Amino acid sequence: MAKQVFNSDILIVDDQDASLQLLFELLDKKGYQIRWAESPQIALETATQKPPGLILLDVNMPGMDCFEFCMRLQKDKRTQQVPVIFISSENDLDSRVRGFEVGGVDCILKPFQEQEVLARVKTHMQMGEMKQNLEKLADKSPTELTKSIASLEKEIKTLKESEGRLRLVFENSYDTIVIAQDEVVKYCNSRITELSGYSIAEIYSMKFSELIHPDDKERVGSEYKARLSGYKAKNSYSVRIITKDEKEKHVLVSSALVTWNNEPATLAIITDITRLKEAEAKLIRSEERFRQLMEQSPLAMEILSPDGRIMVINSAWKTLWGVNDTEAAETIDKYNMLTDPQLEKLGVMDEVKEAFKGKHIVLPPIKYDTGQTKEDFDIMILEELISPWIQSQLYPVLDSEGNIAFIVNTYLDITELKNAGEMVRKSKDDFQILMEASPLGIAIYKPDGKIDQVNTAFKKLWDLSDEEMAVVIANYNYFTDKQIKSLGLSPMVERAFKGESIIMPPIDYEGNRTIKDLGLENIEAQTRTIQTHLHSVKDAKGEVEFVVIINKDLTDIKQAERDAQQQRESLARLDRASSMGQLTGSIAHELNQPLTGILSNAQAAQLMINKDKWDKQELNEILTDIVNDTKRAGSVIHNLRELYREQKIEFNPLDVCMLVEDTLQLLRSELIIQDTKINIDCPPSLPVVNGTEVMIQQVLVNLIQNGIQAMEKIEKDERVIRIDVVQDGSFVNIAVTDKGIGIDSDKIDHIFEPMVTWKPGGTGMGLAISNSIIESHGGKMWSRNNKLGGATVGFSIPIPAKTT
């Protein structure tokens, strides 16, 4: 601010440094030139040398009495006109009175009121100037005076013109202007009609007080009297008036004393402030409502002033921070006492400033460390908050004029939310740990079909280092869809992304080839048998977020399975060999029967020919029989070879009934020796099954032999084996029932396990092999003891899906 320089300077006379300093600063700021003197002597000296524009004089001074100082000033012509303002303490009435007597123009009371000092100083400076000017004028010549009078008259004329303009202004004023004497309206403009509903004529004939609201009459009366007595009261006051149609209106009355027709009168400018009042009332009501709402809100709130200080808080605020009323007040006091830099350090000021620009600001969640705040600023009462996670939002609140009145800061306790978030994050961490720890190779695919990450087991599975894996992933992700499709997994991934869970059959991966496909050369990789599971993982909305591909390494299991299979097969051969021993006699018999036929027939024919006693027909019959017997012998040998041969499973359609019959042929002699009858129930309408004939025969032989052995101890005419063949859904069941001693109850659950036998001399392999054979056919074996004695052991063979 540029200093306003006055013609005259100010001389301060005061011996008290503090007040001198204060005055000096105050006036200096306003552009006055200041001189100062510590004692009246010095002041007198400097004042006479160069008279100041104004002297500020402390009443209580050492040395010279200030009144004496004043009288000396009066006596000196140079300083005669300098106005002196006394500075006095409030209760020192005597010195004030004396001050005025010795020529003081005014008095300022200590302690200083800044505005008052300035106003008084300014007034007296101007008055002093005016006085000086007048005196200068008085010194001038009469002609100049006449000139002055002429210009004065001119001014009067101008004034009259201006009076006319004034009247115009009056009439056109938006405010109601009234001039009244003794409450009777002497003059008013037409606005009065709009305001009160009365015509101007009506107004002239009534007392102005009649317009006033009865409750306000007394107040207006006293105002009026005060005004009349010259008391300089408030310039304006608000009052209620009653209109002609008995409506209440608020008006603002600004009154002044004027002279009307040489009589004192009151000029009142009346402004209709009804709407303003209503708005105000509304504002108050809404403010109240706001405060109530705020108070009732479960949300902790505080109202911030533009400088970031807390103005109001609500109950929820106290609850949130866990403080009682006293503590809250204390906390807020401490907070508000923080300096701006401290507030800046707390980090909210920028946001507050932004909010005051009209922005709604959502602050990031903050974990309040009360200990820290306490340490830094010593404001928080509590050591620890129960709910430390808080999200603050700053809302600017506008006043009725659309300006930002204040900022409401809401605290939303998001601790639970945050904790939930933590848990989600933690569960994600857990997932990571689990994934890493899993012995299964896991790869995660993103919805775009790219590999997101793989775990250690995955790398181990493919025998890849981290770097190599990175290359593989990068290459894979760089592949085109077509390339990925050629790798074969892609359609499965797509299906998985549609939400399907897929378990693929075990696949033998040629390690080197696969690795090469994935863009890695010169890496040795084993051939592995891998079973792949694809699981889709859905997010909270139920949409597939990613697909987890789990690679289960079945290489070792498969190898073990193959070993076991080989072992089983060799065991099977062993068992076949041992059962061959038992079967030798039987087979020899079966072979010798047709051979007998052949030999006898042939020799008969020889005899006939030798004796020349033959006919063509008979020889033909003989030869036919020989052919049939030869075939029969051939088939016996064929069966024999089948039994001895290392078997490979080769599925052919089998007629089960025929198979049973053929098997019985193999066992014929044994059945005869053991006097065992066979009853077969095999419906001819059964569908064919797929299987390897000799293997199933082997199973049947095993079961029938077991049955025969189980019946060795019972009466011969009771030795019966029943073979039931039935269709059961998609299976053909073949059950062999004997009437023998049954299976030991403690072994019945284990008889299909190797080395479990319940018969003397048994190897315990027969049923185990049978079981493996039936399993390899996709069927099942079962066994039970029958209530009426004996056991049933059976098996099932699946019927192919499409049997035509």
Partner 1 sequence: MNEPIIYIVDDDPSVRKALMRLLNSAGMHTEAYASASDFLEFGNCDRKGCLILDVKMKDISGPMLHKKLIEQGCEMPIVFLTAHGDVPTSVEAMKKGAVDFLTKPVDASELFEAVQRALAKDRELRTIREEYSGFVENIQSLTPREYEVMTYVITGILNKQIAAEMSISEETVKVHRGRLMQKLKIVSVAQLVRLCEKTGIKSAIIKGDY
**Closest approach of partner 1 to the CB of residue 660, in Å:** 17
Can you tell me which of 337, 397, 673, 755 binds partner 1, judged by CB under 8 A?
Answer: 673
The reply to whether 630 sits near partner 1 by the rule CB under 8 A is no
* Minimum CB distance to partner 1 smaller for 250 or for 739: 739
- Taken in order 177, 182, 183, 188, is the CA torsion positive or negative? negative
Dump the DSSP string for 607-637: HHHHTT---HHHHHHHHHHHHHHHHHHHHHH
Segment near partner 1 (CB under 8 A); pick from 546-554, 604-612, 679-687, 796-804: 604-612
Among 596, 679, 730, 786, binds partner 1 (CB under 8 A): 596
Q: How is residue 758 annotated by DSSP?
A: -
Per-residue H/E/C for 634-651: HHHHHHHHHHHCCCCCCC
Q: Which is nearer to partner 1, 415 or 586 (CB)?
A: 586
Give the residue with the Cβ less far from partner 1, 362 or 604: 604
- State yes or no: residue 636 binds partner 1 (CB under 8 A): no
666 binds partner 1 per the rule CB under 8 A: no
Instruction: Establish if 585 lies at the interface with partner 1 (CB under 8 A).
Output: yes
Q: Is the peptide bond before 111 cis (omega within 30 degrees of 0)?
A: yes
Residue (365 or 597) nearer to partner 1, CB: 597
Q: Which residues does residue 242 pair with via DSSP β-bridges, in sequence order?
A: 248
Neighbours of 634 (CB within 10 A): 12
For partner 1, the closer of residues 357 and 611 by Cβ is 611
CA distance 335 to 639: 105
Q: Does 75 bind partner 1 (CB under 8 A)?
A: no
Region near partner 1 per CB under 8 A, out of 454-462, 479-487, 522-530, 597-605? 597-605
> Among 581, 784, 793, which Cα is nearest to 706's?
793
**Interacting positions 401-460 with partner 1 (CB under 8 A):** none
Residues in Cβ contact with 344 at an 8 Å cutoff, skipping those fewer than 6 apart = none
- Nearer Cβ to partner 1 (488/634): 634
The residues facing 538 across adjacent strands are: 544
Residue 146's contacts (CB-CB under 8 Å, 6 or more residues apart) are: none
Q: Are 382 and 323 in contact (CB under 8 A)?
A: yes
Q: Does 592 bind partner 1 (CB under 8 A)?
A: yes
Among 196, 415, 586, 737, which residue interacts with partner 1 (rule: CB under 8 A)?
586
Helices 693-710, 656-673: axis angle to 10 degrees equals 40
Options 14, 223, 272, 629; binder of partner 1; rule CB under 8 A: 629
**CB of 790: closest distance to partner 1 in angstroms?**
21
What are 67's two structure tokens?
A: 């009144």
589 binds partner 1 (CB under 8 A): yes
Q: Are the CB atoms for 676 and 713 separated by under 8 Å?
A: no
Cα–Cα dist 622/341, whole Å: 130
Q: Report the helix count and the strand count for the chain, using DSSP H and E.
A: 26, 29
Q: Name the segment binding partner 1 (CB under 8 A); options: 56-64, 568-576, 622-630, 704-712.
A: 622-630
Q: In the block, which residue shows the tokens 């896991």? A: 442
Closest to partner 1 by CB, 459 vs 722, is 722
CB 722 within 8 A of CB 794: no
Residue from 145, 417, 564, 607 binding partner 1 (CB under 8 A): 607
Helices of type H across 720-764: none
Q: Shortest Cβ distance from residue 667 to partner 1 (Å)? A: 12
Does residue 754 bind partner 1 (CB under 8 A)?
no
From CA 509, how far away is CA 44, in angstroms rounded?
117
State which of positions 519-558 bind partner 1 (CB under 8 A).
none
Least Å distance, CB 599 to partner 1, is 4
Name which of 594 and 707 has its Cβ closer to partner 1. 594
When the beta carbons of 549 and 671 are compared against partner 1, the nearer one is 671
Spatial distance between the Cα atoms of 15 and 772, rounded to a whole number of angstroms: 124
Instruction: Pick from 669, 692, 709, 771 the residue near partner 1 by CB under 8 A.
Output: 669
Does 582 interact with partner 1 (rule: CB under 8 A)?
no
- Does residue 594 interact with partner 1 by CB under 8 A? yes
Output helix, strand, coil percentages for the chain, rounded to the nearest 5.
Answer: 50, 20, 30
Q: Give, to the nearest 10 degrees, the angle between helix 555-610 and helix 656-673.
A: 70
Judged by CB under 8 A, the residue of 27, 348, 361, 591 near partner 1 is 591
- Beta carbon nearer to partner 1, 618 or 775: 618
Examine residue 695 and tell whether it contacts partner 1 (CB under 8 A).
Answer: no
Q: What's the closest the beta carbon of residue 627 comes to partner 1, in angstroms?
A: 11
Q: How many residues interact with partner 1 (rule CB under 8 A)? A: 33
Complex with partner 1: residue 538 or 677, whichever CB lies closer: 677
Q: Is 603 in the site for partner 1 (CB under 8 A)?
A: yes
Q: Which of 190, 512, 593, 763 binds partner 1 (CB under 8 A)?
A: 593
Q: Which lies closer to partner 1 via its Cβ, residue 487 or residue 673?
A: 673
Choice between 136 and 611, CB closer to partner 1: 611
Segment interacting with partner 1, rule: CB under 8 A, options 243-251, 329-337, 583-591, 654-662: 583-591
Contact between 622 and partner 1 by CB under 8 A: the answer reads yes
The three-state secondary structure class of 519 is coil
496 near 503, Cβ under 8 Å?
no
DSSP secondary structure of 414-482? -HHHHHHHHHHHHHHHHHHHHHHH-SSEEEEE-TTS-EEEE-HHHHHHTT--HHHHHHHHHHHHHS-HH
Q: Should residue 608 be labelled a site residue for partner 1 when binding is judged by CB under 8 A?
A: yes
Least distance to partner 1 from the beta carbon of 588, Å?
5
- Count CB neighbours of 584 within 10 A: 11
Min. distance of Cβ 632 from partner 1 in angstroms?
Answer: 7
User: Which of 310, 363, 604, 756 is close enough to bind partner 1 by CB under 8 A?
Assistant: 604
For 20, counting Cβ atoms within 10 Å of its Cβ (0-12 exposed, 13-18 middle, 19+ buried), the class is buried
Minimum CB distance to partner 1 smaller for 556 or for 618: 618
- Cβ proximity to partner 1: between 134 and 607 the closer is 607
Q: What is the C-alpha radius of gyration for the chain, rounded to an integer number of angstroms?
A: 62
Helix (H) or strand (E) holding 265: strand 263-272
Q: Give whichever of 113 and 603 is closer to partner 1, judged by the CB atom.
A: 603
Q: Which stretch binds partner 1 (CB under 8 A): 89-97, 323-331, 446-454, 618-626?
A: 618-626
Q: Which is nearer to partner 1, 363 or 608 (CB)?
A: 608
Q: What is the DSSP string of 362-402?
A: EPPPEE--HHHHHHHHS--S-S--SS-EEEEEEEEEE-TTS
Nearer to partner 1, 419 or 620 (CB): 620
Nearest approach in angstroms of CB 724 to partner 1 is 21
632 lines the binding site for partner 1 (CB under 8 A): yes
Give dist(CA 180, CA 227) in Å, integer: 13
Evaluate whether 373 touches 338 at the Cβ level (below 8 Å): no
Helix axes 66-75, 40-49, angle to 10 degrees: 20
State yes or no: residue 640 binds partner 1 (CB under 8 A): no
Contact range with partner 1 by CB under 8 A, out of 129-137, 436-444, 453-461, 608-616: 608-616
Of residues 93-122, those binding partner 1 (CB under 8 A): none
Contact map string, positions 773 to 792, toward partner 1, x by CB under 8 A: --------------------
- Which residues of this protein are in contact with partner 1, per CB under 8 A? 585-586, 588-601, 603-608, 611, 613, 618, 622, 625, 628-629, 632, 669, 672-673
